[in-house]
Amino acid sequence: MMIVELIDGDDFRAQLTALGINIPENADPDTCAQIAAEAHRKQAVTELPTLVRKLIDQKDILLPSVRHAIERFLPFE
């Protein structure tokens, strides 16, 4: 049996924080995405579009709440 690690809100927050985006510990995926989008508008976070594309490409292990937040607030194509 193979166990797959799903990308949840905590993982999403941690990856955004690793890019230098300041996000509160209790932030849900929507809040994380909103804060990331605002940070990117103020001063481009060059790695953010790459991260978003990488996460969307992992749709099989990306929880729906994270995917919806990305699609709603971080529509990098």
Model pLDDT for residues 46-72, shown as the tens digit of each residue:
999 999 999 999 989 999 999 999 999
pTM: 0.91
pLDDT score at 1: 64
Q: How far is the C-alpha of 24 from the C-alpha of 57, rounded, in Å? A: 26
pLDDT score at 12: 98
pLDDT score at 69: 98
Q: How far is the C-alpha of 23 from the C-alpha of 60, rounded, in Å? A: 25
Model pLDDT for residues 3-47, shown as the tens digit of each residue:
668 999 999 999 999 999 999 999 999 999 999 999 999 999 999
Q: Domains of the chain: which residue ranges?
A: 9-19+26-73
